[in-house]
Amino acid sequence: MDNLINRIEINPKIMLGKPIIKGTRITVQNILELLGANETYDNILEAYPNLTVEDIRACIQFASRVVADEFYMPQTT
């Protein structure tokens, strides 16, 4: 599973340094937003035929690791 994360790259010269799927200009954020909008893997792969299921899974894994490294404090009113 760790090798999935290697499908994601951050390059300041591509998409302003946003995390992307290697070899594309497709951002992790874009894929996560599609998943959050209830798009299926099949629909995403149809829209981006050069992607694989592993690329989508890599986006999820990347996001999971980013969130795991963050600390969130609930706001109180």
**Residue 2, Cβ neighbours under 10 Å: how many?**
6
Q: How many whole angstroms separate alpha carbon 53 and alpha carbon 40?
A: 11
In this model, does residue 66 exceed pLDDT 80?
A: yes
Name the strand (E) or helix (H) holding 59.
helix 53-68
Tell me 71's DSSP state.
-
Tell me 46's DSSP state.
H
- Which pLDDT tens digit goes with each residue over 28-43? 999 999 999 999 999 9
- Which pLDDT tens digit goes with each residue over 5-22? 899 999 999 999 999 999
**Average pLDDT of the residues in 42-52:** 97
pLDDT value for 54: 97
Residue of 69 and 65 predicted with greater confidence: 65
Q: Which CATH class is domain 2-68?
A: mainly alpha
- The token duo for 8 is 């994601």
Confidence of residue 60 (pLDDT cuts 50, 70, 90): very high
> Could you tell me if 18 and 10 are in contact, meaning their C-beta atoms sit under 8 angstroms apart?
yes
Q: How many whole angstroms separate alpha carbon 76 and alpha carbon 66?
A: 24
Q: Where are the domains of the chain?
A: 2-68
